[in-house]
Chains A and B, each alone.
Chain A
Amino acid sequence: MTLPDDWEMVVGLEVHTELLTKSKLFCGCQNHFGSEPNTNICPVCLGLPGSLPVLNREAVDFAMRIGMALHSTIAPSTFHRKNYFYPDQSKDYQISQYDLPINSGGYLDLPDGSRVSIERAHMEEDTGKSTHLGGSGRLAGADSSLVDYNRCGVPLVEIVSGPDIRSSAQARTYAAELRGILIATGASDGRLEEGSMRFDANVSVRRSGQPFGTRCEIKNLNSLRSLQRAIEYEALRQVELLEGGGVVRQETRHWDENLGETSTLRVKEDADDYRYFRDPDLVDLAPDQAWQDRVRAALSPMPAQRRGEVVALLREPSDAQLDAVEVVIDLGLEKYVHAVADASGDAGLAVARVANELAADVDHVANLSTESFVATVLMEQRGELSATQAKTVLGEVLASGGDPHAIAASKGFEQLSADTLGSTVASLIDAHPDEWQRYREGDEKLAQFFIGQVMKLTRGQANGKAVIAELQARR
Chain B
Amino acid sequence: MKSATQIAADVRSGASSAAAELERTLSVIAERNEELNVFLHVDIDGARAAAADVDARIANGDNVGPLAGVPIAIKDNLCQVGIPTTCSSKILEGWRPPYNATVIERIVAAGAVPVGKTNLDEFAMGSSTENSAFGPSRNPLDPTRVPGGSSGGSAAAVASNMTSLSLGSDTGGSIRQPAALCGLVGVKPTYGLVSRYGLIAFASSLDQIGPFSKTVADSALLLEVLAGHDPKDSTSLPEASPSLVAHVNDGVAGQRIGLVRELFDGADESVVTAVRAAAAALREAGAKIVDLSIPELELTLSAYYLIAPAEASSNLARYDGVRYGLRVKADDVTAMMEATRTAGFGAEVKRRIMLGTYALSAGYYDAYYGQALKVRTLTINAFARAYEQVDLLLGATTPSVAFKFGAKTADPMAMYLNDVFTIPTNLAGDPALSVPFTTGEEGLPIGVQLLGPGRSEARLFAAARVLEIADGRP
Contact = CB atoms under 8 A, between A and B. Distances in A.
Whether chain A touches chain B in the assembled complex (some CB pair under 8 Å): yes
Interface of A: 43, 46-55, 81, 83, 85, 87, 90-93, 145, 147, 273, 275-277, 280-283
B233 A92 contact: no
A90 B318 contact: yes
A52 B197 CA distance: 6
A48 B98 contact: yes
Given A83-B314, A145-B333, A46 B101 contact: no
A87 B330 CA distance: 14
Nearest to B201: A50
A147 B324 CA distance: 13
A323 B95 CA distance: 60
Given A50-B101, A280-B205, A282-B234, A87 B318 contact: no
- Which among B85, B97, B196, B234 has the greatest number of chain A C-beta atoms within 10 A? B234
Nearest to A277: B360
B357 interface: yes
Nearest to B78: A50
A272 to B, nearest CB: 9
A53 B234 contact: yes
Interface string B170-205: 000000000000000000000000001111110111
Contacts of A50: 77-79, 97, 101, 196-201
Given A51-B197, A273-B361, A83 B98 contact: no
B99 A49 contact: no
B311 interface: yes
Nearest to A272: B362
B196 A52 contact: yes
Contacts of B294: none
A49 B234 contact: no
Interface of B: 77-79, 85, 87, 92, 95, 97-99, 101, 196-201, 203-205, 231-235, 310-311, 313-314, 317-318, 320, 322-324, 333-334, 337, 357, 360-362, 365, 369
Across the A-B interface, give the 3 residue pairs with the lowest CB-CB distance, nearest first. A92-B317, A275-B360, A280-B205
A275 B323 contact: no
Given A48-B324, A87-B320, 20 more contacts: A46-B323, A48-B99, A48-B323, A50-B197, A50-B200, A52-B196, A52-B197, A52-B235, A53-B234, A54-B234, A83-B317, A92-B320, A275-B314, A275-B362, A275-B365, A277-B310, A277-B314, A280-B204, A280-B205, A281-B201
Nearest to B196: A52
A275 B361 contact: yes
A104 B101 CA distance: 38
A453 B97 CA distance: 80
26 contacts: A43-B97, A43-B99, A48-B324, A49-B87, A50-B77, A50-B196, A50-B201, A52-B234, A53-B234, A54-B233, A54-B234, A81-B314, A87-B333, A92-B320, A93-B314, A147-B322, A273-B361, A275-B313, A275-B360, A275-B362, A277-B310, A277-B311, A280-B204, A280-B311, A281-B201, A281-B204
B369 A277 contact: yes
Contact of A92 (B232, B318, B361): B318
Contacts of B198: 50-51
Given A43-B98, A85-B334, A49 B318 contact: yes
Contacts of A47: 318, 323
B78 to A, nearest CB: 7
- Which among A47, A91, A275, A282 has the greatest number of chain B C-beta atoms within 10 A? A275
Nearest to A275: B360
A91 B318 contact: yes
A285 to B, nearest CB: 10
Contacts of A81: 314
Nearest to B205: A280
Chain A binding surface SS class: loop
Contacts of B324: 48
A331 B24 CA distance: 73
A85 B234 CA distance: 25
B369 to A, nearest CB: 7
A449 to B, nearest CB: 71
Contact of A281 (B235, B323, B360): B235
Contacts of A46: 323
Given A54-B231, A91-B318, A280-B205, A49 B311 contact: no
B317 A90 contact: no
A93 B234 contact: no
A140 to B, nearest CB: 12
Given A52-B233, A54-B234, A281-B234, A85 B85 contact: no
B354 to A, nearest CB: 12
B213 to A, nearest CB: 24
B92 A52 contact: no
Contacts of B200: 49-50
B232 A52 contact: yes
A71 B375 CA distance: 38
A49 B123 CA distance: 11
B337 to A, nearest CB: 6
A453 to B, nearest CB: 72
- Which among B196, B231, B235 has the greatest number of chain A C-beta atoms within 10 A? B235
Contacts of A85: 317, 320, 334, 337
Contacts of A275: 313-314, 357, 360-362, 365
Contacts of B92: 49
Contacts of B231: 54
B338 to A, nearest CB: 9
A281 B236 CA distance: 10
A145 B334 CA distance: 13
A463 to B, nearest CB: 66
A276 B369 CA distance: 11
Nearest to A49: B200
Contacts of B310: 277
Contacts of A53: 234
A364 to B, nearest CB: 43
Nearest to A276: B360
B51 to A, nearest CB: 25
A92 B337 CA distance: 11
Contact of A93 (B85, B232, B317, B361): B317
A368 B411 CA distance: 80
A275 B356 CA distance: 10
Given A48-B99, A280-B311, A281-B235, A87 B204 contact: no
Nearest to A43: B99
A282 B324 CA distance: 24
A51 B357 CA distance: 22
Contacts of B361: 273, 275
B470 to A, nearest CB: 39
A283 B235 contact: yes
A149 to B, nearest CB: 8
A250 B95 CA distance: 43
A177 to B, nearest CB: 36
A145 B234 CA distance: 34
Contact of B360 (A49, A83, A90): A83
- Which among B317, B333, B365 has the greatest number of chain A C-beta atoms within 10 A? B317
B235 to A, nearest CB: 6
A85 B341 CA distance: 12
A81 B317 CA distance: 12
B334 to A, nearest CB: 7
A271 to B, nearest CB: 10
Nearest to B332: A144
A49 B204 contact: no
Contacts of A51: 99, 197-198
Nearest to B357: A275
A49 B85 contact: yes
Contacts of A55: 234
A90 to B, nearest CB: 7
